[in-house]
């Protein structure tokens, strides 16, 4: 009755709701559960050239308004996910490979390997905040430019990039120009808000172990930052590059806000980890209810439709 789908780089995602790379998408069993859920696509945990154990535990904590993590890229390695790709696709929905690297030089070979498998889209994760001693690549625009050019050259599949939150319009302008110039097919914004610290007052310790307790913040805390980044890139890219919004999606109303800001699809991280694969059916139903309230036939009708708030009329002294 309502069209909840979208098309990104020629790939139909229906509904426009999927998991975010990160929670519950590392093992074949987790990925199969996602493929059998009501999500519009399956996104893998970020894969690296070699398998990784990740950082020492405890490395994740749920919080009243979200989550903090410093997982450190635990994954089975790109070869394992390439092997899974055909089997997962056979379950009937698009599969998106998230690809990352510890050393920047490992990114392009990992992308080339993933592109040789049956993935529909490749999402280059250039925004992992949790690798001790390694800065977030996408905060260095020159390094980002180099990697995007090299990745584009080896990747014949649609190639997107997952970006960190930016807090300054000038940074968003530079990155948007680069995305256009390098022919990137879609962007995913935002990764977790990096280097947050949550303190357990009673024990006078951080909640997680790695990096002295510093980790990426997700969930409700970050939604306004995510919406602002979606909006800024939507304006700067003029709708030319589709945007997948992520950060604080718990309800259909949250999804509608991301669509209004300019996202064509959304990903769900913290809430998916807390609620499991059944969340996708609930979110699809809730998004349909919002469309009904707004008398829209399709999710696409909301994309970018955010209106400016008129300035309040000045009240003159009597």
Q: How many CA atoms lie within 13 A of 8 on its CB side?
A: 35
Closest Cα partner for 123 from 146, 97, 141, 149?
Answer: 97
Separation of alpha carbons 249 and 240, rounded Å: 24
By beta-carbon proximity to ligand RRO, the closer residue of 5 and 54 is 54
Q: Which position among 16, 25, 82, 128 bears the catalytic label? A: 128
Q: What part of residues 146-205 is at the interface with ligand RRO (CB under 6 A)?
A: 191-192
Least Å distance between CB 73 and ligand RRO? Answer: 4
Total residues in contact with ligand RRO, by rule CB under 6 A? 16
Nearer Cβ to ligand RRO (73/236): 73
Spell out the residues 6+ positions from residue 233 whose beta carbon is closer than 8 angstroms to its own: 172, 175, 176, 187, 189, 241, 243, 262
Taking CB under 6 A as the rule, which mask of x and - marks residues 200-239 in contact with ligand RRO?
A: ----------------x-----------------------
Binding mask 125-144 for ligand RRO (x = CB under 6 A): x-xxxx--------------
* Dihedral angle sign, alpha carbons of residues 135, 139, 145, 151: positive
Q: Are 247 and 218 in contact (CB under 8 A)?
A: yes
The answer to whether residues 63 and 196 touch, using CB atoms and an 8 Å cutoff, is no
Nearer to ligand RRO, 38 or 67 (CB): 67
Whether 151 contacts 111, CB under 8 Å = yes
70 binds ligand RRO (CB under 6 A): yes
Which range in 30-38, 67-75, 249-257, 258-266 contacts ligand RRO by CB under 6 A?
Answer: 67-75
* Residues 276-295 contacting ligand RRO, CB under 6 A: none
Nearer Cβ to ligand RRO, position 13 or 131? 131
DSSP 240: S
Chain positions 81 to 110 lying near ligand RRO, rule: CB under 6 A, are 100
- Residue 155 designated active-site: no
Report CA dihedral (168, 173, 176, 180) to the nearest 10 degrees. -170
Residue (130 or 303) nearer to ligand RRO, CB: 130
Distance CA 93, CA 42 (A): 7
Residue range at the interface with ligand RRO (CB under 6 A); choices 64-72, 84-92, 114-122, 168-176: 64-72
DSSP structure class, residue 54? -
Complete DSSP assignment for 85-154: HHHHHTTTS-EEEEE--SSGGGHHHHHHHHHTTT-SEEEEE------TT---GGGSHHHHHHHHHHHHHH
Q: Considering only the stretches 123-131, 135-143, 167-175, 232-240, report the one whose residues sit in contact with ligand RRO under the rule CB under 6 A.
A: 123-131
Q: Which is nearer to ligand RRO, 5 or 104 (CB)?
A: 104
Token couple for 252: 């259909």
Sole window of 3-11, 112-120, 122-130, 150-158 interacting with ligand RRO (rule: CB under 6 A): 122-130
At its nearest, how many Å lie between ligand RRO and the CB of residue 52?
A: 9
In the window 10-49, what residues touch ligand RRO (CB under 6 A)? 22, 46
Catalytic residue annotation: 128
Contact residues toward ligand RRO (CB under 6 A) are 22, 46, 69-73, 100, 125, 127-130, 191-192, 216
């Amino acid at each position: 009755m309502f069209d909840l789908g979208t098309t990104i780089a020629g790939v139909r995602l229906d509904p426009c709701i999927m998991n975010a790379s990160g929670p519950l998408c590392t093992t074949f069993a987790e990925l199969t559960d996602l493929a059998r859920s009501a999500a519009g696509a399956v996104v893998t945990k970020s894969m690296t050239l070699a398998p990784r154990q990740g950082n020492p535990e405890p490395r994740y904590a749920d919080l009243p308004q979200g989550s903090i993590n410093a997982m450190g890229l635990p994954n089975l390695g790109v070869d394992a996910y390439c092997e899974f790709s055909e089997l997962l696709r056979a379950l009937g929905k698009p599969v998106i490979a998230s690809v990352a690297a510890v050393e920047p030089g490992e990114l392009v070979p990992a992308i080339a390997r993933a592109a040789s498998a049956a993935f529909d889209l490749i999402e280059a994760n250039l925004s992992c905040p949790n690798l001790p001693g390694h800065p977030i690549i996408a905060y260095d625009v020159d390094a980002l430019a180099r990697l995007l050019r090299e990745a584009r050259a080896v990747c014949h599949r649609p190639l997107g990039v997952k970006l960190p939150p930016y807090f300054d319009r000038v940074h968003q302008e530079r990155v948007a120009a680069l995305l256009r110039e390098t022919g990137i097919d879609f962007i995913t914004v935002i990764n977790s808000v990096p280097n947050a610290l949550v303190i357990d007052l009673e024990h006078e310790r951080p909640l997680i172990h790695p990096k002295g307790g510093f980790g990426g913040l997700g969930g409700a805390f970050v939604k306004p930052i995510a919406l602002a980044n979606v909006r800024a890139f939507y304006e700067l890219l003029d709708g030319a590059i589709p945007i997948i919004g992520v950060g604080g999606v718990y309800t259909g109303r949250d999804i509608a806000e991301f669509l209004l800001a300019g996202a064509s699809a959304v990903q769900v991280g913290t809430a998916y980890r807390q609620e499991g694969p059944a969340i996708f059916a609930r979110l699809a139903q809730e998004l349909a209810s919002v469309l009904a309230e707004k008398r829209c036939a399709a999710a696409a009708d909301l994309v970018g439709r955010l209106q400016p708030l008129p300035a309040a009329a000045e009240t003159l002294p009597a």
